[in-house]
Structure 1
Amino acid sequence: MLNPSEVDRLLAIVAHPDDVDFGSAGTIATLTSSGAHVAYCLVTDGDAGGSDRTITRAEMASMRRKEQAAAAAVLGVDDLVFLGHADGRVEATLALRRDISRVIRQVRPKVVLCQSPERNYDRIFASHPDHLAAGEAAMCAVYPDARNPFAFPELLEEGLEPWTVDEVWISGHPTMTDVVDVTDAVERKFDALRCHASQLPDPAAMEVRVRQWMASVAKTHGLPDGRFAEGYRVFRAV
């Protein structure tokens, strides 16, 4: 089981507002409670979210940025970067790899938390194409881009020295190797999720579904009944 108290700086890289809260809000709350600095890198503003056609896409993007900032505040996070790539059309381009590498060099995290670049057929909602692309770009940024001074020389010109990430925690991966026991942070997780009102037509049903998922992860990894966990594929990057 992962021990968040051993992590002093973590950067979460996700495709959309609300992604980090569905997958990892309990982990984030546990980290900040132990004194870690946590930062978010949001690849898109989530402008393609929701189903209300009377809301313009610019209005939706603004709404979702505010919702994500509010959710982050619930968890003790105030360091957010929105990259502004197009929601629903994310690709693991060199431009996105550079943008993520820039944030890694700015934040200088020990751990990067990102989405899986591999499709998970048991949890298809974790495998939105934007998630897969954001995960692939994040992996490329961790290795080799952010640590390689010659990958994007323009970052050196911005005064950003290379940075080597020690460890990567992949959320939504088909094969979980480690979990974080988030039982004590469950209510903060749902407080954060409820901030994403534009994306939650039925908050009560969402809570039931997410509780069931976290209980299943905990049980699969040997935690006692009544515990909740968030799972990751973890690997060393050094």
Structure 2
Amino acid sequence: MVVFAHPDDVDFGAAGTVAAWTSAGVEVAYCVGTSGEAGSHPGAVREAEQRAAAAEVGVSDVVFLGYPDGRLTASLDLRRDIARQIRRFRPDRVLAWSPEINWDHVVTAHPDHRAMGEAAFAAVYPDARNAHAHPELLAEGLRPWTVPELWLADAPARLRNHAVDITAHFDRKLAALRSHVTQTGGNSGLEAQLRAHFSAVAARHGITGLAEEFQVVDTS
């Protein structure tokens, strides 16, 4: 399961990895905190773009939580709603955004990203696995679930300890990003920018080609 704040976050940060997983037969679900309505386009448009982007990388299970864009906090309500999706989908791995600031590239350290990351971490541990947390979830028939592994995108560079070779899946990542027409439609240099960035990531990890990188945490 991938947990993120806005439509397009996953596609910039992790869609190549998602495509690699689905190509290997792994089922993936998305949990999106907001509908991205704080920009210049309505939330319904952004949601439709995200669903189209998800389809490009083999994901059909997309849930929008409906929190206000630009005003996310790691509230108990948000923790409960993410835990609900974890108990529903019962994933072996959750990929979320780091709750820490990436000081090397602060434009990606949006407060919504960090709030969603903090709430996702709390939902993974301890909320989703704790039968006494959010008792209303038990009343909905959602039994506790332990997620053994948490992957964090956009963590501080020193904490990134794992890379995924996305060379064979880059075209699907690019197609997913181009599905966000309101966000990428005017960027004629998108492909070149992405290739340069993910080539540099790959080189740091000794991979020939393109790669995405994460901080992987054992939460078992």
1:94-121 superposed Cα distances (whole Å, 9 cap, x missing partner): 0000000000000000000000100001
Distance (Å, rounded) in 2 between the aligned partners of 1:140 and 1:204: 39
Q: With the length of structure 1 as denominator, give the TM-score of the two structures.
A: 0.90
**1:67-146 matched pairs, under 5 angstroms:** 67-146=49-128
Distance (Å, rounded) in 2 between the aligned partners of 1:214 and 1:136: 26
> Does structure 1 residue 161 correspond to structure 2 residue 143?
yes
Q: With the length of structure 2 as denominator, give the TM-score of the two structures.
A: 0.97
Aligned AA (2:105):
R
Distance (Å, rounded) in 2 between the aligned partners of 1:67 and 1:12: 17
Aligned AA (1:159):
G
2:47 matched residue in structure 1: 65
- Percent identity for Structure 1 against Structure 2: 51
1:193 matched residue in structure 2: 177
Q: Given that residues 113 and 171 in structure 1 are in contact (C-alpha distance below 8 angstroms), is that contact kept between their aligned partners in structure 2?
A: yes
Report the 3-state secondary structure (helix = DSSP H, G, I; strand = E; otherwise coil) of the residue aligned with 1:180: strand
Q: Given that residues 49 and 199 in structure 1 are in contact (C-alpha distance below 8 angstroms), is that contact kept between their aligned partners in structure 2?
A: no
Count of aligned pairs: 218
1:215 matched residue in structure 2: 199
1:236 matched residue in structure 2: 218
1:116-137 superposed Cα distances (whole Å, 9 cap, x missing partner): 1000011222211100000000
Q: Which runs of 4+ in 1 moved over 6 A?
A: none
- Aligned partner of 1:179 among 160, 163, 183: 163
Aligned AA (2:103):
Y
1:27 matched residue in structure 2: 17
Aligned AA (1:39):
A
1:62 positional shift: 0.4
Distance (Å, rounded) in 1 between the aligned partners of 2:215 and 2:189: 27
1:201 positional shift: 5.0
The CA RMSD measured in Å over matched residues stands at 1.0
Unaligned runs of 5+ in 1: 1-10
Report the 3-state secondary structure (helix = DSSP H, G, I; strand = E; otherwise coil) of the residue aligned with 1:67: helix
Report the 3-state secondary structure (helix = DSSP H, G, I; strand = E; otherwise coil) of the residue aligned with 1:203: coil
**1:32-71 matched pairs, under 5 angstroms:** 32-50=22-40, 60-71=42-53
